[in-house]
Amino acid sequence: MVTSAASDSASTPIRVAIAGASGYAGGEILRLLLGHPAYLDGSLTIGALTAGGNAGATLGEFHPHLLPLAGRVLEPTTIDRLAGHDVVFLGLPHGNSAEIATQLPEQTVIIDCGADFRLQSAAEWERYYKSEHAGTWPYGLPELPGHREKLAGATRIAVPGCYPTAASLALAPAVAAGIVEPRVTVVAVSGTSGAGRAPKADLLGSEVMGSAKAYGVGGVHRHTPEITQNLSAIAGTEVTVSFTPVLAPMPRGILATCTAVTTATTAEARAIYEKAYADEPFVHVLPENVYPQTGAVIGSNAAQIGVTVDEAAGLLVVIAAIDNLTKGTAGGAVQSMNLALGLPETAGLSTVGVAP
């Protein structure tokens, strides 16, 4: 067990590898690890950093902000290079994780930022991802009921999608308390880093700057079944989710506006949220009439949440802001690693953002 490596850290440092280190998720994991107390005291070391076609280049060519590792050469993503590590983060496109996971030892902690192992339903996977379902791993969103316990000591972890992180945290308390009808609407604005750093014409500056656009409209976005799975498990009944993602001209951040029919008052709803998240280190329910902004969570692992009821419309309105690359990917991945290894859950993670 790597848990024992963590507890025996004075003599045996935890060795961590990152597959997909040239990508946005891989880079953000490295940024967080470089500030992690276990890295700073030498009980965690950063081993292999791998890439696809960019293997052979230096990390600094893609992540010049990661100065201490800028000279490291990216290796090809092979089992040989990933073997021998206690923790392997996978920051690869969907569909690459299963083959790697089956060839690494059971005791290696594999933390997959991709979608491959998030969904329980093979039918839903096939419908949205058009490929064979690889399986289901513990889901790296400890704030959802029952998940923290499953992540403690886990050796296989599926990091949630960025939109499902925001939407699930926004709606979980209301669904758990049964104050909303099991039919919710999520409209979430995302920065362009959510789409990764591989070049795509619709992500060119000239296409994105000064313009916001909805995409994946009408229930076709692949995060719809993931949000549905999370909320239905909490409700104990099928929750219908209408999800509309919106691409916004900003590099990072998600602002998810979530609504559902309710007869609760603002005071009742707020009391439920304040109680649900009172002990959560990364989920902050803002004061009444204060609503979150992405600019307040950039680089932080916080989810900031504003809660009210539009009593005339009979709608609960919950707005959540996260950094898609931090709480929405790499921060969630490091939080999950901490739980898997028996380290303090908050180690290396801050609720303090970078602004303006």
Ligand X SMILES: CC(=O)N[C@@H](CCC(=O)OP(=O)(O)O)C(=O)O
81's tokens: 């290079």
CB of 113 to ligand NDP, least distance (A): 4
DSSP characters for 311-340? TTTTEEEEEEEE-TTIIIIIHHHHHHHHHH
Place of tokens 């801050």: 350
Residue 191's nearest CA partner among 243, 246, 242, 113 is 246
Q: Identify whether 162 is a catalytic site residue.
A: yes
Q: Are strands 87-90 and 156-158 parallel, antiparallel or unpaired?
A: unpaired
Catalytic residue among 18, 87, 162, 343: 162
Q: Could you tell which of ligand X, ligand NDP, none binds residue 245, using a CB distance below 5 to 8 A set by kind? A: ligand X
92 binds ligand NDP (CB under 6 A): yes
245 binds ligand NDP (CB under 6 A): no
CB of 23 to ligand NDP, least distance (A): 2
Give 220: exposed, middle or buried? Use CB within 10 Å, 0-12, 13-18, 19+: exposed
Terminal C-alpha separation, the chain: 43
CB of 221 to ligand X, least distance (A): 6
Residues 6+ apart with CB under 8 A from 56: 73, 74
Please report, as residue ranges, which positions from 14 to 33 form the binding site for ligand NDP (by CB under 6 A).
20-26
Q: Binding pattern to ligand X, positions 319-338, x when CB under 6 A? A: --------------------
Q: Which of 43, 77, 259, 336 binds ligand NDP (CB under 6 A)?
A: 77
Q: Binding pattern to ligand X, positions 108-147, x when CB under 6 A? A: ------xx--------------------------------
Residue closer to ligand X, measured from CB, 190 or 338: 190
Count of residues that bind ligand X according to CB under 6 A: 10
Q: Which of 50, 96, 190, 336 binds ligand X (CB under 6 A)?
A: 190
The Cα-based distances of 108 to 63, 70, 96, 339 in angstroms read 26, 26, 17, 14
Residue 255's nearest CA partner among 224, 298, 312, 314 is 298
Active site residues: 162
Residues lying near ligand NDP in the complex (CB under 6 A): 20-26, 51-54, 77, 91-94, 96, 113-114, 161-162, 193-194, 196-198, 324-325, 328-329
